[in-house]
Amino acid sequence: MPGLLITFEGNEGSGKTTLIRATAEALQRDYQISTVETREPGGLLLSEKIRDLLLHYPMNPWTELFLYEAARAEHLHQVLLPALKKNQWVLCDRFTDSTLAYQGAGRGLNWDQVKELNLLATQGLTPHLSVFLDIPPQLGLKNATEKNRFEEEKVGFHQKVRQGFLKSIRQEPQRWIQLKALSDSPQNMASGLIQTLKTRFPQSFRKKRSPTSPKKRSTRE
């Protein structure tokens, strides 16, 4: 059973963290799939320290970009690659597409240069699937629970970020699925997502175990 990297992308307050939790719960409960929930920037002590700098200290956009990539390089080697090697499913809250959307489209850094740095930091690892939770930025900002430097940006910045995500989707449509944020309960949205995963990665699913089915007996008994 091969490991999968599934990334969750979208503006602030679009329900990424909530959907990851609900999806991981359902994958473990219904399919006995071993999941790792992680986030960028962050996911381990050093990258969480970089996250704190990124989210709370004003800095030049290029510094911002390099800090994201530094946190990513560490996260790749300490969390993502080991989990994928163990055939786990990694559900990652933001990844390279957020860097394109925020530092590329939002801050106005050169899109292709950001893409190149992403590629260096990830050593070419790309998500098997990326989920875009689409939300009108104004609504997302109202809904966001985390206070940080990005959340405090004007709505125009967040509009550009959303356009950045849409550009990533146009460039690689087959890698993405788009969901309307907050359109259903987190549990129902997770079930819908899992149906899509079953269609896309049928070999990665074990047979659903029914609690009432008798245990298989050996034919020698």
Ligand X SMILES: Nc1ncnc2c1ncn2[C@@H]1O[C@H](COP(=O)(O)OP(=O)(O)O)[C@@H](O)[C@H]1O
Q: Does 137 bind ligand X (CB under 6 A)?
A: no
- Our finding on whether 189 is near ligand X (CB under 6 A) is yes
CB 134 within 8 A of CB 14: yes
On whether the CB atoms of residues 69 and 15 are closer than 8 A, the answer is: no
Q: Which residue has the tokens 């899509």?
A: 196
Minimum CB separation of residue 22 from ligand X in Å reads 8
Q: Does 12 bind ligand X (CB under 6 A)?
A: yes
Name the binder of 43 from Mg ion, ligand X, none, CB < 5-8 A by kind. Answer: none
Q: Determine which residue in the list 33, 84, 114, 182 makes contact with ligand X, applying CB under 6 A.
A: 182
Residue with tokens 């030049």: 60
Q: Is 34 in the site for ligand X (CB under 6 A)?
A: no
Residue whose beta carbon is closest to ligand X? 15
- At a CB cut-off of 8 Å and minimum separation 6, what does 158 contact? 11, 12, 106, 137, 138, 140, 141
Nearest distance from residue 82's CB to ligand X, in Å? 24
* Token digits of residue 92: 């990652």
Q: Is residue 122 close enough to count as binding ligand X by CB under 6 A?
A: no
Among 55, 139, 144, 177, binds ligand X (CB under 6 A): 144
Which are the contacts of 93, defined by CB distance < 8 A and separation ≥ 6?
Answer: 8, 16, 17, 20, 37, 38, 39, 40
The piece of 12-20, 56-64, 120-128, 164-172 that touches ligand X (CB under 6 A) is: 12-20
Which residue ranges make up the site for ligand X (CB under 6 A)?
A: 10, 12-18, 143-145, 182, 185-186, 189
